[in-house]
Structure 1
Amino acid sequence: MSDGFECFKHVGLALDPIHVGTGGARLGRVDLSIVRDPVTKIPKIPGSSLAGVHRAYVAMAEKKYPGCAGQGQPDTSGAGGHCCDPKCPVCTVFGFAKGKDSTTGFTGLAAFSDVHIQLFPVATREGPLWVTSPEQLRIAGLSIPEDANADAVYRKSTSSQPLNLGWLLLPVKALSEHSCIRDELNKLGVPKHILDRFGVVPDRLFSHVVNSNLEVRTSVSINPETGAAEEGALFTYEALPRATLLFWEVTCKNPKHFKIGNKDIEAANNKDKVHSLVKKAYPYLEHLGIGGMGTRGMGRLRVLEPNASSNHSSEIEQSDKDKSQEARH
């Protein structure tokens, strides 16, 4: 942690499938594909999409919508646009372009990283398994398993029976760092029912597992006069499935090091205040969502609260044992 900035880690649970599209139709197995990392081909949500939806929702919460929520340029009459006021919680936290009352722009006090998959749910014959990889753990600053190199599923179970991840059948091996990774995930607020059902696969397999298990839906436009499907209006689109665990960071700058128009920033006086303003978007994310296809049951994202008490794996395991004993009696 620095006096100039502080990074806050966040984990979100997808309550619905999430579709953040590439902006147009493409040739392939689906018409509307989602954004992927250009190198690993693993789906992600760009930081710009996250920042934009946060700005809109914080503007709603602070009753600054729509003026301070959009692109910020006034109309031809000079009305509207960002207020550019050092007292405005939206303009100071998220920044603004050159406006009618400002000679220069301001980058804002909060910076958003891309949103990466932390744990990806996959259907198996033993029920859902949340899969990750060493690189996805490294992005979140978690322990990196050194033995997860062979083509296998590394998890707590030591069963010799192979396990299917969708269409892929892999042997199962014991994960020596399971307890340590489980404890770190618990600190981030990952639900307990997921902590016992996660596995690690090598980086070279993770993108294949994810891309072959995305949710794909088919939609068609309906003619309002006939109530029947429009001819030639059938299209398909993909999305991150429900119950995907996502990770991102928000870097909050210290307001005392910045000025707007030679005036001190009054909307926030420290890094924690900047972060608290960002967090005002969380209830809206859970109910209004992020990305497209919101009218088709997609987009809701619940931001999980970190466990300040950081229960250790041994305590969680003891609680599970107690529940099992109670169930038997």
Structure 2
Amino acid sequence: MFKVAKPVFLIVETPLHAGSGSDLGAVDLPIQRERHTDFPKVEGSSVKGCFREAFEEYPANHEIVVNKKKTKVRDLIGLTFGPEDGSEGAGALGFTDARLLLFPVKSMKGIFAWITCPRVLRQFKNDLTLAGVTLEKAVPETPGVIPGANVTVSQKVILEEYTFDLPNSNLLKEFSEWLAGRVLPSGEEYNYWREKMKKDIVILPDDDFRDFVNLSTEVITRTKISPNTGTVESGALFTEEYLPSETVLYTLVLATPIMRPDDKKNNSVLKADDPVQEASNVLEYFATGLPTVIQMGGNATIGKGIVRTHIMKEDKK
């Protein structure tokens, strides 16, 4: 059982295809979705694999400080993410499925709005509780729009070709301001996005949200051109589904004490008498070594799946 956990936000910079295999529906290669809600997600195994790959790409001599000790990042991959041979023992890091938090939809005003729904926000609150995070702001539980939002037209929100008459919500305003300070990194280059997030989050009814995340994903047609004829090769026309840029997902990184006490060489960095402290050392290793930009999903060679990572910081007391 995990001892400590932290939320990690994933901000999609380029369209993300976390595929679920081929399908007989309208899209040949759809994205992964929750079975019971049909909301997009990224499987925990995929999340873990992408994070592990990011750590393995560090140079062999790259060092970080963990538990006040210098260590090479790659020396601890086996202990934290697990050995290549699973029979040697489990890793000390686990990951939940990456769930959808905010989904971008074209808006008549303000370019686009981030949409969410009461179901998603309740799940977000529950997941933060698992990580020991107590929200200092109440989570809105009804549809609404922020007073003075950039995406409103005559007190209405027009998304794609649909018009929504939503009440103003000061609670959503307070929550959006809280969220904007935690989802995005603190650099000045994110000032524009923080301000937009404070203004342009819209809570839709659950059913309307489900329709948008099913019908407003990006679907791209791919072809293969024959070098001999200059035309599409037979059977080489297919469609792929992507989560659009600016989508915001989150996952929980879960840490346990190390599972391989026989590895004394590398244990010394993470080892602690208290199991919770040892798990905290594992989490410190992950947080310190996590790159700010990683690649997730398919089609890396055509620039897809570039994702910015940000570990949620604790509120200052």
TM-score bracket for this pair, using the shorter chain length:
0.7 to 0.9
Q: Give the superposition deviation at 1:59.
A: 1.8
Deviation at 1:97, TM superposition (A): 6.1
State the distance in 2 between where 1:245 and 1:236 align: 23
Instruction: Write the distance in 2 (CA, Å) between the matches of 1:36 and 1:247.
Output: 15
Paired residue for 1:68?
Answer: none
Q: Shift of residue 227 of structure 1?
A: 3.8
Q: Which residue of 1 aligns with 2:253?
A: 250
Which amino acid counterpart does residue 10 of structure 1 have in structure 2? V
After superposition, the C-alpha distances for 1:8-56 in whole angstroms (9 at most, x for unaligned) are 1111211100001012x21222111000000000010011001011112
* 1:20 paired residue among 14, 18, 21: 18
Equivalent position of 1:139 in the other structure: 123
Post-superposition, which runs of at least 4 consecutive aligned residues in structure 1 deviate over 3 A?
157-161, 225-228, 258-264, 269-273, 305-310
Between the aligned partners of 2:52 and 2:268, the Cα distance in structure 1 is 18
Cα distance in 2 between the residues matched to 1:173 and 1:183: 18
| 1:1-329 mapped onto 2 (5 Å cutoff) | 5-23=3-21, 25-61=22-58, 63=60, 88-96=75-83, 98=85, 104-126=87-109, 127-141=111-125, 143-148=138-143, 153-157=144-148, 161-190=155-184, 191-192=193-194, 193-255=196-258, 258-261=259-262, 263=264, 265-269=267-271, 270-279=278-287, 280-283=289-292, 285=294, 289-304=295-310, 306=312
Question: Gaps (5+ residues) in structure 2?
Answer: 62-73, 126-134, 185-192, 272-277
In structure 1, the residue corresponding to 2:298 is in which secondary structure? coil
Letter in 2 for 1:61: Y
Q: Deviations over 1:241-269 (max 9, x none)?
A: 001111111012234xx443385823523
Q: Contact 2:78–2:84 (CA<8 Å) still a contact in 1?
A: no
Alpha-carbon distance in structure 1 between the residues aligned to 2:310 and 2:54: 17
* Superposed displacement of residue 183, structure 1: 3.4
Relative to structure 1, the CA distance from residue 179 to residue 232 in structure 2 (aligned partners, 3 Å threshold; closer, same or farther) is: same
In the alignment, residue 215 of structure 2 is paired with which amino acid?
S
Structure-1 separation of matches of 2:27 and 2:145 = 31
User: Using a 3 Å threshold, how does the CA distance of structure 1 residues 295 and 62 change in structure 2: closer, same or farther?
Assistant: closer
Q: Which has the higher contact order (CA 8 A, sep 6+)?
A: 2
Is the 1:13–1:245 contact (alpha carbons within 8 Å) kept by the matching residues of 2?
Answer: yes
With the length of structure 2 as denominator, give the TM-score of the two structures: 0.76
Q: Is the 8 A contact 2:6 2:252 kept in 1?
A: yes
Give the fraction of aligned pairs with identical amino acids, expressed as a percent.
Answer: 27
Count, aligned residues: 273
Say whether the 8 Å CA contact 1:88–1:267 is kept in structure 2. Answer: no
Instruction: Show CA shifts across 1:142-173 (max 9, x none).
Output: 6332433xxxx533348654322223322121
Residues 107/167 of structure 1: CA separation in 2 closer, same or farther (3 Å cut): farther
Q: Using a 3 Å threshold, how does the CA distance of structure 1 residues 138 and 62 change in structure 2: closer, same or farther?
A: farther
Q: Give the secondary-structure state (helix, strand or coil) at the position aligned to 2:183.
A: coil
**SS of residue matched to 1:222:** coil
Say what the alpha-carbon RMSD is for the aligned residues: 2.8
How has the CA–CA distance of structure 1 residues 237 and 129 changed in structure 2, closer, same or farther, with 3 Å as cutoff? same
The C-alpha deviation readout for 1:88-130, integer Å capped at 9, x for no partner, is 411110113657xxxx432211110110111111001112100
Check conservation: 1:187, 1:306, Cα contact below 8 A: no
**Which amino acid in the other structure matches residue 28 of structure 1?**
G
CA distance in structure 2 between the partners assigned to 1:60 and 1:180 by the alignment? 40
